Amino acid sequence: MTKTQYFATCPKGLESLLLDELQALGGEDCRATVAGVYFGGELTVAYRACLWSRLANKVLLPLASGSVRNADELYDLVKALPWQEHLSAEGTLLVDFSGQGSGIRNTQFGAVKVKDAIVDCLREQTGVRPSVAKLNPDVRINVRLNRGRANISLDLSGDSLHRRGYRQQQGEAPLKENLAAAILVRAGWCAEAETALLDPMCGSGTFLIEAALMAADIAPGLYRSEFAFERWRQHQPLLWAELTQEARERRLQGLARDDLPEIRGYDANLKVIRAAEENITRAGLDDWLRVSRKELREFKRPTHTSLQTGLIVCNPPYGERLGEVESMKILYAHMGERFRDEFTGWRAAVFTGNPELGKQMGLRAHKKYKLFNGTIPSELLLFDIANEQFVTAPPKELEASAPVSRDSLTEGALGLVNRLQKNQKKLKSFLKRSGATCYRLYDADIPEYACAIDVYQGKSVSGSEPKLQVHVQEYQPPRSVDENKAAERFSDIQKAVPVALNVAPANVSYKQRRRNKGTTQYEKLAEQSEGELLQIEEGQARLVVNLWQYLDTGVFLDHRPLRLKIAQQAKGKRFLNLFCYAAAASVQAAVAGARFTLSVDMSQTYLNWARKNLALNGLSESKNRLEQADCLQWLQKPQTQKFDLIMLDPPSFSNSKRMADVLDVQRDHVFLIQKAMSMLEDDGVLYFSNNLRSFKLDEQALAAFDITNITRETIAEDFARNQKVHHCWEVRHKG
């Protein structure tokens, strides 16, 4: 056997890893170049590369290289080669051509020119011409034209080597197998004795299977049905049979070991879990690898055995549109929190197409590698999950200005301070008993100071520093109140709130409702940045609020009791949330163990907000679907799905440009309830609420249902002053 030079191609960024791998397989004089490695050796080395390489795309046998100025010179270069040594005249061929220039207008024209040269060469020698076969050709020729130079090679591997053969099912954005293997190599998998590998977002199981092949010393090429060289005229079947038999024996020995690492994968999407199970079975690893449906929020260290160390590897989504990216920031932060809380002492490898998201995890990466996922520039982040690598919480914010002194307050402002502090003391036992951290403190108790004041205790979405913020909404003053007088009273509110609650003025958000023209009444909203997000806790759920940018904060505090009531009933149930807003009720249901939630709203802004809430709780959209639709129109369409729990909370009135009809809750509530009840299981319950003070339920038109007014029990003590803050009914099927 003579020694020959070969060329193995690979994705950009993997060249150095492939060089090491080929040297380990016996390659000589290895030399890396862009997207590939040259290596030398006997045919055995090329066969081993095809069978054992985890990183290569193709293994090529270079035949000729030369400069070509036009298509005729390309033809002459190809025709001069001894094709009778590679292909019989009665055989079939396929040409893979890449590049253009030197008179070659496109790849199809170049491929035809190469094919003509090979056919003419063999026909002139034998009088018989080979034919083209797109499937299973006897010989596959690879030609690359770049800067006027043509490289002609025989393709020994055929289909890209990343196509192992075990993966027939895949998720929406699968990693190629050789890229997954490269990530594992970079992460140090199998470089030392590993006890476990976990993937919290395993998709169709590529990381799991590649890790298992490496750990059990299994050749990835064993799963392929055929290689291109098997029909080549110089193929040596006995040599190939010897190598494959050796690989089969090594596989049996590897799987028989009693020290194989624990390898488990989780994903919230049942469809991709089923795909992973099929792929694992096809790879013959179903007695070893385990996958199960699990949300990120449930990701914990396995308890069935003691696992002190191990590797977490994952390829989380990274979002392509603005709304997705913002929710992904929160998802990555939650993922980092799971790592810190459950896996101290472990290592982690996170591969992402948006490296900025990695900064949200609260961990310092000790290594970063630039890679490509197809054409997408990506980054592999490697972490040691240890206390010294945790990013400390940011320092407390400096107050924008000194707190206001009591001495400078007017008599009215002092009265408001006293009322706020009195209310705070009165609510103390309720807050301790209920665990509420966000609540209404004041609701126009003093008629001259007509506003609602809500307290929000939480922490920054991007950090862990406790924060207290206050939301003040002024009610529209009557026209009988002089504008200057109204402005003076609002000034008193601005001075009183920081003093009463001992909070920096910069942490108080004011929403003024005035008879000003244009956009001036909401100018302060437009000045605030997107980053002013606070995460709060309500029961077992976390919610994102924004006190600065919008009229509403992202959660209606008066519905807290109803949301918690839904959470108590949601386990194992299917929940529908109509007019969902930021889907706080859906999050409560999902965190409590709902089987499935569907949230419908017309506003994409609100649905993007809902995505943030899901991400903050480690919940996926596979089990918690968000649908953008006009609920009026949506309910008019035939709906086949049934639900066990439904929340129907329409606005009092809406004439949005996105709506086909005008919504008037007094006029339309019968239709809304009847349509929603058609989707409710016989033993299910619908909660209908609205905040129209003058609302009257049409009990006669809804006599077919059992209806119970539960308004009183859904208004908590902090809203006791305003018993008409909302109305709420429990609706069930009769019988």
DSSP for 107-162? Answer: HHHHHHHHHHHHHHHHHHHHS---EE-SSS-SEEEEEEEETTEEEEEEESS-S-TT
Closest CA to 670 of 690, 642, 684, 656: 690
| Cβ-contact 617, 584 below 8 angstroms | no
Decide: 628 and 601 in contact? Cβ < 8 Å.
yes
d(CA 348, CA 358): 12
Q: What is the mean pLDDT of the chain?
A: 91
Three-state DSSP string of 688-707:
EEECCCCCCCCCCCCCCEEE
Contacts of 324 (CB under 8 A, 6+ apart): 317, 608, 611
Q: What tokens appear for 570 in the block?
A: 């949601």
131 and 51 Cβ atoms separated by less than 8 Å = no
| Nearest alpha-carbon partner for 98 in 32, 149, 161, 156 | 149
- Give residue-wise pLDDT tens across range 65-93: 999 999 999 999 999 999 999 999 999 99
Region 531-545 average pLDDT: 90
Please tell me the total number of residues recorded for the chain in this structure.
735
Say yes or no to pLDDT of 530 above 50.
no
Give the pLDDT mean for 327-355: 93
| Residue 323 confidence class, pLDDT cut points 50, 70, 90 | low
Q: Using CA atoms, how far apart are residues 531 and 546, in angstroms rounded to an integer? A: 9
Partner residues linked to 647 by β-bridges? 577, 687
Joined together, the tokens standing for residue 390 give 């945790």
How far apart are the C-alpha atoms of 9 and 246, rounded to whole Å? 25
Tell me the one-letter amino acid at 383.
F
Query: What is the reported pLDDT for 399?
Result: 41
Q: Which of 648, 642, 636, 714 is nearest to 683 (CA)?
A: 642
Q: How confident is the model at residue 400 (pLDDT cuts 50, 70, 90)?
A: very low
Q: What's the mean pLDDT in 142-149? A: 93
Question: What DSSP string describes 519-585?
Answer: TGGGHHHHHS-TT--EEEEETTEEEEE-SSSSSS-SS-GGGHHHHHHHHHH-TT-EEEEES-TT-HH
Residue 320: what pLDDT?
67
Residue 24 buriedness (CB in 10 A; 0-12 / 13-18 / 19+): exposed
Question: What is the C-alpha separation between 48 and 240, in angstroms, rounded?
Answer: 9
Q: How confident is the model at residue 465 (pLDDT cuts 50, 70, 90)?
A: confident
If you average pLDDT over residues 622-629, what whole number do you get? 96
What distance in Å separates the CA atoms of residue 61 and residue 55, rounded to the nearest whole number? 18
Residue whose C-alpha is closest to residue 327's, from 609, 625, 627, 618: 609
Domains of the chain and CATH, by start:
4-155 (3.30.2130.30), 177-216+257-389 (3.40.50.150), 393-540 (3.30.750.80), 556-735 (3.40.50.150)
The mean per-residue pLDDT over the stretch 230-259 comes to 96
pLDDT exceeds cutoff 50 at 494: yes
Cα separation of 160 and 139, whole Å?
A: 15
